[in-house]
Structure 1
Amino acid sequence: MNYFKAWNHALIQGFLILFLGLSCASVQADEEMKLDKAPVDSSNLPSLQRGAQHFMNYCMNCHSAHLARFDLLEQLGLSEKQVKQNLILTDAKVADYMTVVLKAKDAQNWFGVPPPDLTVEARVHGADWIYTYLRSFYRDDQRPSGWNNRVFPNVAMPHVLWALQGQQALQKQGGKDTLVLIQKGSLSPQEYDQFAGDLVNFLVFMSEPTRSARLHLGLWVMGFLLILFLVARALKREFWKDIH
């Protein structure tokens, strides 16, 4: 009996230590990395269309989205002709999956790791993480690519958007590491933030295309359940009025 008592006590202590350890690690991670809020709006079609254009022009050179087809873009208010002319930059068809020509072996040799598929990246990391990541690259001569990232230290991916954002450096200001723009890009900081926001907005849409419809349908379902509850409550009162 004492054996089981001691075992249970040790088990409870182990769970408490594990829980407290994970909690402390989570708090420490939050303190070290403050993520910026991504301007995600699934109803903003112009933003989604711009994000799709950015994705095709800058991301699909290396990253695939092999779980999505090009005809998904028609849900953004675009015709099949517009998708073909403006968003499909290869000889792919509208019904084809969004794959890239880059071979995993070549990517491994060039970057050290194959670029991840981005179909559900927004669900893996979250919109705020990606939004902050796209704006947190800085020059680092110690890295093979010449770039590093505050959100993803020692990242293998170079800053492919540097011509738009410009070049940032990590400097000490007030005892804290701060990103400072040392060379301007073709976009102003506000314009680049919008660029990154539109791209993230599209990635969120691509990771869950039915989200907007699901939320809309959910409101109708909740309304129906509310009406059903009121009707059931009225019937219950009618059936039991003579008893009570």
Structure 2
Amino acid sequence: MKLRVKYAKMGSSRFLSHLELMKAMERAFRRARIPLAFSEGFNPHPKISYASALSVGIASEGEYLDIELSTEMDIEDFKIEVNKNLINSLEILDVKEIKIKVESLTAIVERAKYRAICLLEEDIKEEVLNEVVKRFLDQEEMIVTRKTKDKVKEINIKEGIFYVDAEIKDMNLFFKFIVVTGSKGNVRAGEVYDAFISFGNFKVKGRPNFIREALYALKDDALCTPMDILEG
């Protein structure tokens, strides 16, 4: 039996690395006595696969994993028992059985939607903000500097940004955007946020809170969730 699981990673769990998240999930599955299926070989491990890894410090309202069980289990029981054994800031939101042949999560997930929230030092008029959003998207290129372990390189992230919107509530800037993610490319949330704040010459207090709102696959060039893919 194979299941696709949607879960939230909020609160203190946003500071877990991807490896720590995997360990927390596996520990909860074991404590909940979930009948895990294991790989074969000298070092058997649970058959669990994850979608696009989330950077440390970013919360999420919709992450995904696929898990294979050794025996049949009621989906609602799975959700209830695992949630009982997860740390408070991790929560299973939805579970569906995988009844058709589908590609892996890493193969299908191509878009990520983020929300960044920051406190402004001074208010910005709505019409000014809207104009900045328009001009930001109209740029021919957006060059950012990306550091790796052994070098620094400049990257044009413009082609990897598909949607941008912003609004202000009580001096808080809510900045939303959809970017490429996964095996076909990856634009980082912080890169888009920093580019937008710099472009608009906005004055903000401290660093923003980042939340990944959703992960998407593409079906007939339209966005759909990994759960939608299971409908065939």
Interval containing the TM-score (normalised by the shorter chain): under 0.3
| TM-score normalised per structure 2 | 0.23
Bigger RCO (CA 8 Å, 6+ sep): 2
- Higher share in strand: 2
- Higher share in helix: 1
| TM-score normalised per structure 1 | 0.22
Larger radius of gyration between Structure 1 and Structure 2: 1
